[in-house]
Amino acid sequence: QRKKLNLDIKNISKWGYNRKEIYFKKFEKFLKKTNYSNSEDIYTLGRIYMNDKSFERAYTVFKRDKNSDYRNLFGVATTARFLGKYGVSINYYQKLLSINPNFYKGYLGLGNSYKMKGNYPAALKNMKKYLAYEEDENVYIGMADIYIAQNKYDSAKNILEEAQSKFSNSAKIRKSLGEIYSKLGRG
């Protein structure tokens, strides 16, 4: 029978620092005793750390999963990206997507990691893959930002016009499109 740790996930964010630290140490001790063998427990603690904005701790915990659970791979990749470890992030997103290619949030994370490394073609490719699964106005705006960073204003205009046709009430897209039109001399 598996050892079980009693979790109080819902209330952690309301606790003070000392109480959180005691809880975190207890949870980490529990994971160590179980030799980090349970992906679900690793995911739970990693998620708690992420919600607490303790990204370094989350990164360390997610990385300990020996079973390559896709959620923990996503956790490692995402926290690595938040910590500016873009090469590590890219490797983990790629591993995640090789195991679970339909976990589409991985494409967005991979795209953002490539963007931060300055590999704009790879960033755009992965963001487009994400959009094939889920339309998101912010992803379109992010893609436009990539085109703008490359001085490709016509491409930025085109992607934003496509976004506007899908999100006709979006103030963010209207604002971005207005900025592009003014750069192109149509303002």
What are the domain boundaries of the chain? Answer: 135-187
**pLDDT value at position 1?**
44
Mean pLDDT of 127-139: 97
Any alpha helices (H) in the chain, and if so which ranges? 17-33, 39-51, 55-63, 70-82, 86-99, 105-117, 120-133, 137-149, 153-166, 171-183
What pLDDT is stored for residue 143 in this prediction?
98
Residue 20 has a pLDDT of 73
**C-alpha distance across the termini of the chain, in Å:** 69
- Mean pLDDT taken over the chain: 91
The dihedral through the CA atoms of 106, 108, 114, 117 has a sign that is: negative
Q: CA 56 to CA 42: how far, in whole Å?
A: 14
What does the alpha-carbon distance between residue 63 and residue 77 come to, in Å, rounded to a whole number?
9
Please give the residue that has the higher pLDDT: either 20 or 89. 89
State what percent of residues in the chain have pLDDT above 90. Answer: 74
pLDDT digits (tens, 9 = 90+) for 19-34: 777 777 888 887 788 8
What's the pTM value of the predicted model, to 2 decimals?
Answer: 0.85
- The confidence score (pLDDT) of residue 93 equals 99
Nearest CA to 49 out of 16, 75, 71, 69 is that of 75
